[in-house]
Amino acid sequence: MSKLSDIARNAVGNGGVTSGLEKIKIDELIRLYPDGVSITGVDIISYEGSRFPSFAFAEDTTKCFTGGMALIQMADAWIDEYDGDMQAINDDLRAEPVRIRMEKITTKNKRTYTRVTILPSEPTCDPQTGEIMGAGASVPF
C-alpha cells in the first residue's frame, strides 16, 4: 500500500484501528456487555466539522463504537497526555486495555443520558453480592 493511499484512507475514516469494523450502537453495546468492555484502540474521526472518537474493544474484535461527551473527553485527555501520538496511545491500549461500563440513566426530569464508569483493569467481584465492581469516575455523555 502506498503512503498516499494510507493518507487518503485515514482522511476518509477508513484507516486506523477501527478501519473495517462494523459500528455498534451504544444501546446494543450496553445490552450485550452490561459488565463493561475493554477498549483496545481509538481513532479520531472528523465528519462535517465535528470530531469524535471511535473505539475498538476486546469483547468483539469485529465491531467498534463511537461516543459522546464523556468518551470525547477521555480520548482528548489521552491525546493531550501523549502529545497527539495516536500510535503510542493505541500501543498502550493494546498492552493494557481500559475497561469501561456504560449504562442508561433517566433523571428526575425524564431526560436520559449514558453514564460511563472507568473500571479497574482487572474486574473485581463483591464477595457478598457477587456483583462485578468498578472504581472510578462516572460521567454522562
Range of 75's domain? Answer: 20-140
Does residue 71 lie in a domain region?
yes
Does residue 6 lie in a domain region?
no
Domain count, the chain: 1
pLDDT given at position 90: 96
- What are the distances in angstroms from CA 13 to CA 45, 77, 80? 6, 21, 21
Summarize the confidence of residues 84-98 as an average pLDDT.
95
Model confidence at 137, in pLDDT bands (50, 70, 90)? very low
Does residue 12 lie in a domain region?
no
Does residue 111 lie in a domain region?
yes
When comparing pLDDT for 64 and 10, which is higher? 64
CA angle, corner 18, sides to 121 and 1, nearest 5? Answer: 130
Does residue 86 lie in a domain region?
yes
Does residue 37 lie in a domain region?
yes
Does residue 79 lie in a domain region?
yes
Summarize the confidence of residues 108-134 as an average pLDDT.
75
Q: What is the pTM of this model?
A: 0.76
Answer yes or no: is pLDDT of 102 > 60: yes
Model confidence at 71, in pLDDT bands (50, 70, 90)? very high
CA atoms within 13 A on the CB side of 30: 14
